[in-house]
Structures are given as structure tokens and as C-alpha cells.
Structure 1
Amino acid sequence: MPRADFYLIAKPRFLTEPLKLVCELARKAYDANLWTLILARDAEQAEALDELLWAFDDEAYIPHQIAGTDEEDDLTPVLIAAPEFDAPARALVINLRDAAFEGACERVLEVVPADPAAREPLRERWKQYKARGFAVNKYDM
């Protein structure tokens, strides 16, 4: 059964920089040998994530790239996709976009902003995943 995990941002270090949580999730996935697709909200966010993943951890290198920047997309463990690029789904999808992920995957991670106004659409998304047969979980971060 596929899973949808919602990560609710609460800790101060993630409140100011929510993309740091995305980097941590990507690192855990890479350490677990899970090939990951990160669906960025826009090209600017994709670039910011790309930069942050380079500098995120001095101890660990997370092989990543922005989808469509070269021919090696399918050889890179962590692929960051802006909306204009239609990247194939992977076992793990980290979704930063406004709509629920529609493709097939083993697990989708939704990063939920601390802003209460942003939480209402995510309640709707929670219902959508449940209706599609996903096991749904919530984690406070």
C-alpha cells in the first residue's frame, strides 16, 4: 500500500528555512538508497534547493540535479523538478507543489508550512490521498 506522509513544520530551525527539512528528507532517502523526485513549486525554488543541497551537510554529499539540465536525469539519485518539466515518478516523491501528487509511487512526502492558512488545502489533500488508498501519516517537525 502506498504511503503519504505529511511533515508539519513547527521547529524554529525549519520555520525560517523550510527547505532545510526537504534537504534532511532527501538525505535520509539517499542514505536508505531510495531514488527521490522532489517536485519544486517553481524554477526559483528548484534553484534554491539545488544550492542548499550542495551546502547542506559538510559530511554528506547528496547526488542531485535539476531535471532537464543534462542527459543524466535517470542516473541521479535525487532529481529536482520544476513544474515545466515532466519528470517520471520515482519510488519516493517529495511534493512541494500546491496540488496532490497524481502519479504512482511507493511513498509521497508533503511538507506542510507553519502558516495556518496553508494547512486548510493540505487537509483536502490528505482526504484525496486517503481516497486513493494511501496510508496517511502526520509528523510534527
Structure 2
Amino acid sequence: MPRADFYLITTPRFREQPLRLVCELVRKAHAAGLPTLILARDDAQAEALDDLLWDMGEDAYIPHQIAGLDEDEDEADVLIAGPSADAPMRPLVINLRDAAVQGSFDRVLEVVPADESARGPLRERWKQYQARGLELKKYDM
């Protein structure tokens, strides 16, 4: 059964740099051998994630690239897709956009902002995934 995991940003470290949490989730997925698709909110966010993933420390190289820039993107363990990129689904999807993820995946990770006023769309998404029969989990990060 597909699963949706919601990661609530609660610690100061991730409040200051929410994309660092995304990088941590990517690192864990990579270590588990899960091909990952990151749905970035916009192209600027895709580039910021690309830069951060290069900066994970010397012992944490994660093969990744931005969708649409290279023909070999199927080989990258992590694909970062801006809204205009037509990227194929992967078993693990990290969703940073406003809409619930459609299509076929094993697991979707949703990052919930620390700011209470920004959480409305995520509550809506929780209900959408629930209506589709996904197993739901919540984690404080």
C-alpha cells in the first residue's frame, strides 16, 4: 500500500534552513537504495537543492541532477524536477509543491513548514491522500 509521510519542521536547525531537512531525507533514501524524485516548488528551489546536495560533506556524495538538463537523468539516483520538467515518477517522491502528488509511487514525503499559517494546504493534502487510501504517518523533525 502506498504511504504518505509528513515531516513537521519543529527544530531550530530546520526552521532556519528547511531545505536541509530535504537533504537529510534524500541522504536516508540514497542510503536505502531508493530512486528518488524531488518535486521542487520552482526552478530557483531546484537549483538551491542541487547546490545543497553538492555540499553534504566529503563522505556523502549523492548522485543527483536537475530534470531536463541531461539525457542521462534516468541514471541519477536523485532527480530534482522544477514545475516545467516532465519527470517520470519514482518509488520515492519528496513533494515541495502545493498540490498532492498524482501518479504511481510507493511513498511520498511531504515537508510541513514550521509556520502554522503555512500548514493549511498540507492539512488538505493529508485528507486527499487519506481519501485515496494511502497509509499516513507524521514525524516531528
Q: TM-score range by the shorter chain?
A: over 0.9
Measured in 2, the distance between the counterparts of 1:109 and 1:57 equals 23
Residue 93 of structure 1: aligned partner: 93
- Cα deviation, residue 58, structure 1: 2.4
- Cα deviation, residue 119, structure 1: 0.9
TM-score for the superposition, normalised by structure 1: 0.98
Residue 135 of structure 2: aligned partner: 135
Question: Is this contact kept in 2: 1:20–1:56, CA < 8 A?
Answer: no
Measured in 2, the distance between the counterparts of 1:118 and 1:100 equals 15
- Cα deviation, residue 54, structure 1: 0.2
- Cα deviation, residue 8, structure 1: 0.2
Identity of aligned residues (%): 70
Matches within 5 A, 1:63-78: 63-78=63-78
Amino acid at match of 2:72: E
Kindly indicate whether residue 108 of structure 2 is the aligned counterpart of residue 104 of structure 1: no
Measured in 2, the distance between the counterparts of 1:40 and 1:57 equals 22
Kindly indicate whether residue 61 of structure 2 is the aligned counterpart of residue 61 of structure 1: yes
Residue 51 of structure 1: aligned partner: 51
Q: Show structure 1 runs of 5+ residues with no match.
A: none
- Cα deviation, residue 57, structure 1: 2.4
- Cα deviation, residue 86, structure 1: 1.3
| Higher deviation after alignment, 51-60 or 8-17 | 51-60
Amino acid at match of 1:118: A
Residue 22 of structure 1: aligned partner: 22
Measured in 2, the distance between the counterparts of 1:62 and 1:2 equals 25
CA deviation digits over 1:49-82, x for unaligned, max 9?
0000000222210000000111011010000000
Task: Tell me the C-alpha RMSD between the 2 structures.
Answer: 0.6
Q: Show structure 2 runs of 5+ residues with no match.
A: none
SS in 2 for 1:72: helix
SS in 1 for 2:86: coil
Residue 3 of structure 2: aligned partner: 3
Measured in 2, the distance between the counterparts of 1:17 and 1:139 equals 17
Amino acid at match of 1:34: L
Measured in 1, the distance between the counterparts of 2:132 and 2:57 equals 36
Q: How many residues align?
A: 141
